[in-house]
Amino acid sequence: MTKRSKRLKSIDAKIEENRLFSLKDAIEVIKDCPKAKFDESLDVSLKLGVDPKKSDQQVRSTVSLPHGTGKKVVLVVLAKGDKAEAAQKAGADYVGTTEIFEKIKGGWTDFSAVIATPDMMREVGKLAKILGPRGLMPTPKAGTVTNDVEKAVKEVKAGKIEFKVDKGGVINASFGKASFSVEKLEENVNVLLGAIQKAKPATAKGIYMQSLYLSSTMGPGLKIDVNSLAL
């Protein structure tokens, strides 16, 4: 049997078995747990009452978190001409066309988001096998295929994220860092959950938000009382 570290034993002592938490209480417990050696992310894992196999029950949208995620966003913009200039001025990290396409084809993926203008999508489509599995493929629905690259760049840099239900009907998303205050984390997660609630498909039946857990990167998963959510 693997011996549990003092850190994990200390975490175990703070959590009552089978307890349901409110969002605020869960965040407070997670922040009060012994810290890892880095600034951990806080995440939600939300099981939805939808059938992802049905096209009319896909849940996918974007939301701007009021306090951002705390993660450094490395942004690629695929554009040319005045759109490329606008992206650079707005703060994009990498801007261009041919050179960037070739780098990505060669396996370069050291970035966290991609924005493309519509005229670039023919070439971007050739990168789908590389970008798609990493959740980096730009789409109009996510606002990452657009001619208004200045606005898109500023939104992504300010904390706009995309959420999407997976094959198991679960949405996993980060909503901040352990170094954030309880108030900022609570506001971020409420905004995220509100956006997911708003994205509920009209054809979804029964209980929509079935189970919800909050966790940190190296910490425990705490089950939230979904009936306590004020959405």
On the question of pLDDT at 79 being above 90, the answer is yes
Containing structural domain, residue 85: 75-158
Does residue 6 sit within a domain? no
pLDDT-derived band at 6 (thresholds 50, 70, 90) equals: low
pLDDT at 9: 54
Instruction: Kindly state whether residues 113 and 218 are assigned to the same domain.
Output: no
Cα separation, 46 vs 93, whole angstroms: 32
Q: What average pLDDT score do residues 54-62 get?
A: 92
Longest dimension (CA), the chain: 61
On the question of pLDDT at 109 being above 70, the answer is yes
On the question of pLDDT at 5 being above 60, the answer is no
Non-local CB neighbours of 219 within 8 Å, separated by 6+ positions: 11, 30, 33, 36, 40
Instruction: Kindly state whether residues 57 and 89 are assigned to the same domain.
Output: no
Instruction: Kindly state whether residues 123 and 167 are assigned to the same domain.
Output: no
Non-local CB neighbours of 148 within 8 Å, separated by 6+ positions: none
Does residue 12 sit within a domain? no
Q: Which of residues 114, 129, 158 is at a domain's end?
A: 158
Q: What average pLDDT score do residues 159-179 get?
A: 94
Q: Which of residues 158, 183, 208 is at a domain's end?
A: 158
Q: Look over the chain and give the mean of its residue pLDDT values, rounded to a whole number.
A: 91
Q: Are 177 and 70 in contact (CB under 8 A)?
A: yes
pTM above 0.75, yes or no: yes
Q: Which structure tokens are listed for 19?
A: 């307890």
Q: Structural domain tally of the chain?
A: 2
Instruction: Kindly state whether residues 179 and 114 are assigned to the same domain.
Output: no
Q: What average pLDDT score do residues 75-80 get?
A: 96
pLDDT at 231: 73
Instruction: Kindly state whether residues 149 and 172 are assigned to the same domain.
Output: no
Which CATH number belongs to the domain containing residue 149 in this structure?
A: 3.40.50.790
Does residue 198 sit within a domain? yes
Instruction: Kindly state whether residues 50 and 113 are assigned to the same domain.
Output: no
Q: Are 23 and 44 in contact (CB under 8 A)?
A: no
Q: Which of residues 125, 158, 191 is at a domain's end?
A: 158
Instruction: Kindly state whether residues 103 and 147 are assigned to the same domain.
Output: yes
pLDDT at 135: 86
Closest CA to 115 of 162, 176, 172: 162
Instruction: Kindly state whether residues 59 and 170 are assigned to the same domain.
Output: yes
Does residue 81 sit within a domain? yes
Instruction: Kindly state whether residues 55 and 79 are assigned to the same domain.
Output: no
SS3 content of the chain, % helix, strand, coil (to 5): 40, 20, 40
| pLDDT tens per residue, range 126-151 | 999 999 998 899 999 889 999 999 99
Does residue 94 sit within a domain? yes
Q: Are 94 and 111 in contact (CB under 8 A)?
A: yes
